[in-house]
Amino acid sequence: MRRFLLPLLMLFAATALGHAAEAPAPEPTLPTISLSEDIGETIAKEAAEVKEEIEHQARSLFTRTYLGWDLDTIHYVSTWVLSLPLRAPEMVRALAAHGRLLGIAGSLVVLTFIAAVVYSLTGRHRVVRRVEAALGPVRHRLPGRAYPFVMAAVRVLAAAAIPLALLGVYTLIRETIAYRAAWFGLLGELLLLWAAAALVLRSLEEALTGGLFAATAAHGRRIFRFARLGLLYTVFCLVLLHAADAYAFRPDVLRFLRFAASVSVVCLFLLLMLNKRSLLSFFPELPYQSYRRYLTALGRYYYPLIGVSFLLALAWCFGFREFGTLLLVKIWSTIAALGLLGIGYHALRLGLTRWAGRIPATAESSRELVRTARSLLGFASGLAAALVFLNMIGLLGPAERLLSFPVLKVGAVALTFWRMIIAALVLAAFVYASRFMQAYLDYRVFPALGVDSGLGYAINTIVRIASLAIGCLVALNTLGVDLAFLLVFAGAIGVGVGLGLQTAAAHLVAGFIIIFGGKVRKGDWIKVEESVGMITDIHLMSTRVRTRGDVEYLIPNSSLLSSTIVNYTLSSPTVWISLPVGVSYDADPQRVQEILLAVAAAEPTVLRGETPRVLFTQFADSSLNFELAVAIDIRLYPERLVKSNLYFAAFREFRQAGIEIPYPQREVRVRGTGGAMPGPEAAAAGAGA
């Protein structure tokens, strides 16, 4: 991040100077930066306020709501229930009166509703079989994994089709007639309950016993039996409450019925939740340490959690509504949210892993996209889990209050720890998103548009700098810093930077020229101090080059731009190299040419798209000199390796063909008279000759 600090400051400085040139203004005074005074007192005051607020909320939680019934209510209900057989004639007379009021048409409608109810209970499987037969011709078009889920959805809809249709007909009739008897209004509520219960019950049956999930294979049917019993009993209680409300029972009776129904439902669902082994088996085994610790903690404290939840539910039934609701929702919503986050993270991670397994090993851009996607997914999941956990346990609000005291003052702006944390998270989100965007451009966009690697790297550099600049501005805005004030402040810093860091500014300008000039690009092979290396990174201040011996050079951009650059891959990675070869005068030049061309053709490091050439270059003192010219891909093989392989092969072939590779020879002739030994003068003359 430090390499982006200088260009951002210079950008702010240029903007500030440009505004100053357009409209002269008095010289601004630089703002003061100081620590906030009385931090300890501020923290103590804020902590006291948070404590008082928490105590007030705690007191409100224990406020009990009046139940609204007593022993007289129980006596009245028991007396009414015992008198039901004696009131049967009265009920028959009321039913006959309603029948006469409805007439023949109304009675037929009621009978039609009853017949539809009976058919939905007995003919549901027949409807499902007909739908499966209708889907037979298009089954091959559905993916194999999706077909069971499609049929499960069809069965769920078939189970609720008739009550939904009846609910639609009932709504139409109710809007067209003025009949508003109590039983008629109750009928609509019962139809709505029936449709909802059919959807939920059939969905549970398909999920737990339909074989859709491997986790439900062992204990799905057992849990479904308990869940079905609890759901049907809950529906029965709701029907009873709706009927009592429709027929205008006494208010205390209605409250007693709600109390009795809620207590019985809580006790029934306690029996369901006691199936610890069966319920915990629905959590899949995932290869993540945090998820395994979560399951271990849940299994260890399962029964205490169930006991506390049962007591909280009873407290809700006995009038402590806010206390029971708050803690129950926080406990189980936290457990469910963390579990769903873990499963969702695993599903996305598994999809990325499967996709990465289908990518060729040479597709570096694809693998970079996978890596950045995983890091972005990890950051988002970790942040979401932390926020959900803190919010569910009730610490997010108090933590915000406690960390919202001013720590640092920049002019008139007071910075707090909470704003700093939010700004850091915003900046991190921009960094992760920028990396993912760059990887996606490399993988999908640039190949589709035919963008070469050098231009793509330049575009990614723009994306990286722009993302970081925008992220910094958003983070500063989150901190509450006035951007206009920031320009003034950065202008003063920019003047100092321009005077004291001229060399760094030169490197920066040269970096932009290199990045956008297109003459030196990432992935190019250039010559650095008699060594050939590949450009691995082009930063704003320097360029990194790695040789074949894994030696890295960091070249300042201004130095690179001011010197002669030997770029082997600017227009093409094909490079021609030549090998000087000398043979004796006794050798046939045509035979030498044939051997050298055969050696070049057999060498795998020589580029096949170009035809090797042999040049007869010189009649030397001791040899006939030739040059073998071959083309190589400089990115794949070094020049020294190719030459070494060719020299080995040529030496072997020359020796087999009897062609001598001469070495320099000199003859020294000594002249004398009469066989006498030459004198010093003669020896010197002979040596001079």
Lowest-pLDDT range of 92-101, 440-449, 574-583: 92-101
Predicted pLDDT at 13 = 40
Taking 80 as the threshold, does the pLDDT of residue 228 lie above it? yes
Between residues 676 and 620, the one the model is more confident about: 620
Strands 525-528 and 552-556: unpaired
Q: Quick count: other Cβ atoms within 10 Å of Cβ 610?
A: 13
The band of 529, judged by pLDDT with boundaries at 50, 70 and 90, is confident
Taking 50 as the threshold, does the pLDDT of residue 584 lie above it? yes
Lowest-pLDDT range of 187-191, 335-339, 487-491: 487-491
Q: What are phi and psi of 18, to 5 degrees?
A: -65, -40
The band of 449, judged by pLDDT with boundaries at 50, 70 and 90, is confident
* Lookup result for tokens 């999920």: 207
* Residue 327: its H or E element: helix 321-357
CB 257 within 8 A of CB 242: no
Measured over the CA atoms of residue 509, residue 570, residue 466 and residue 420, the dihedral's sign is negative
d(CA 595, CA 579) in angstroms, rounded, equals 14
Domains of the chain as residue ranges with CATH: 2-40+364-515 (no CATH), 71-282 (no CATH), 519-562 (2.30.30.60), 574-657 (3.30.70.100)
- Alpha-carbon dihedral angle through residues 336, 337, 342, 348, given to the nearest 10 degrees: 120
Q: DSSP for 453-513, please give it.
A: HHHHHHHHHHHHHHHHHHHHHHHHHHHT--HHHHHHHHHHHHHHHHHH-HHHHHHHHHHHH
Query: By C-alpha distance, which of 390, 323, 430 is closest to 62?
Result: 323
Predicted pLDDT at 284 = 74
* Lookup result for tokens 């989100």: 429
Predicted pLDDT at 4 = 42
Amino acid at 581: V
DSSP label at residue 137: G
Between residues 613 and 409, the one the model is more confident about: 613
Query: By C-alpha distance, which of 196, 180, 170, 175 is closest to 110?
Result: 170
Predicted pLDDT at 629 = 92
Between residues 241 and 48, the one the model is more confident about: 241
d(CA 630, CA 575) in angstroms, rounded, equals 8
Taking 50 as the threshold, does the pLDDT of residue 30 lie above it? no
Predicted pLDDT at 626 = 92
Lowest-pLDDT range of 98-107, 305-314, 574-583, 660-669: 98-107
Query: By C-alpha distance, which of 646, 532, 527, 530 is closest to 578?
Result: 646
The band of 105, judged by pLDDT with boundaries at 50, 70 and 90, is low
The overall average pLDDT reported for the chain is 74
Taking 50 as the threshold, does the pLDDT of residue 28 lie above it? no
Between vectors from CA 502 to CA 497 and to CA 507, what angle results, nearest 5°? 110
Give the bridge partners for 535, in sequence order. 545
d(CA 164, CA 186) in angstroms, rounded, equals 16
Taking 50 as the threshold, does the pLDDT of residue 553 lie above it? yes
Residue 479 to residues 281, 395, 418, 466, 491, Cα–Cα distance (Å): 46, 22, 9, 20, 20
Taking 50 as the threshold, does the pLDDT of residue 340 lie above it? yes
Instruction: Output helix, strand, coil percentages for the chain, rounded to the nearest 5.
Output: 70, 10, 20
Taking 80 as the threshold, does the pLDDT of residue 498 lie above it? no
Strands 525-528 and 413-416: unpaired
Q: Provide the 3-class DSSP secondary structure of residue 526.
A: strand
Report the percentage of the chain scoring pLDDT > 70: 68
d(CA 572, CA 552) in angstroms, rounded, equals 24
The band of 206, judged by pLDDT with boundaries at 50, 70 and 90, is confident
Residue 587 makes CB contacts below 8 A (sequence gap 6+) with: 624, 659, 660
d(CA 460, CA 439) in angstroms, rounded, equals 9
Taking 50 as the threshold, does the pLDDT of residue 653 lie above it? yes
